[in-house]
Amino acid sequence: QKGRFSFLLAVCVFRQMLTSGSSSSVSARPGHGRWDHPRRSALCLRCPGLDWLEFGEFCYKPFGDRKTWQDAQRVCRDLGAELVSIMSMKEQHPFFFTFTATNNLWTGLNDLLVPGMFTWSDDFEVTFTYWAPGEPNNHNGFSEDCVEMLYETGRWNDKSWVPPVKLITK
């Protein structure tokens, strides 16, 4: 059907983490999307714009254009956000139903630094995975260093970073 196409989707995620401190201003850590407020210890989330969706403690921004994993990461970081990191099934489940209806989705999980040692691009510890059966596998001997969420099942698949796909920031 004209105008219909299939693509991968990525998500950038904007995180605001408020911690105690001594300054009276809100400060951002470049490239990490974290905001520190010195006088509050409770989380106060405000998404950066109307095109962001708030879910739980984070803001998510979907994009319609296709990018390689590294270009998607760059777009997210330019916004002070990161590709999505998924910390639990509680986060995985609604995220899957909200953002992957017809498209696979880039995550921030990768083993670009050390083959076989997967890390989140936002430096959060990997405490949860949801691999598809037989994954990760470097299919046919190719270096598959980035991870996508499959729209059919929500399971994760290692994939080469090169094919352009869609993205969402967190």
**Is residue 132 assigned to a domain?**
yes
∠ CA 156-160-165, rounded to 5°? 75
Q: With bands split at pLDDT 50, 70 and 90, how would you rate the model's confidence at 10?
A: low
**Is residue 162 assigned to a domain?**
yes
Instruction: Give just the sign of the alpha carbon dihedral 112, 162, 9, 94.
Output: negative
Q: How far lies 60's CA from each of 4, 73, 148, in Å?
A: 24, 14, 16
**Is residue 21 assigned to a domain?**
no
Could you tell me which residues come within 8 angstroms of residue 134 by beta carbon, excluding any fewer than 6 positions away? none
Indicate yes or no: pTM above 0.85.
Answer: no
**Is residue 68 assigned to a domain?**
yes
Q: With bands split at pLDDT 50, 70 and 90, how would you rate the model's confidence at 118?
A: very high
State the residue for tokens 């880039």: 106
- pLDDT of 56: 77
- pLDDT of 165: 64
**Is residue 66 assigned to a domain?**
yes
Give the range of the structural domain holding residue 82, as residue numbers without chain letter.
Answer: 8-15+47-169
Average pLDDT score over residue span 106-123:
94
Q: Could you give the number of structural domains in the chain?
A: 1
Amino acid identity for residue 138 in this structure: N
**Is residue 40 assigned to a domain?**
no
Any idea what the CATH number is for the domain that residue 77 is in?
3.10.100.10
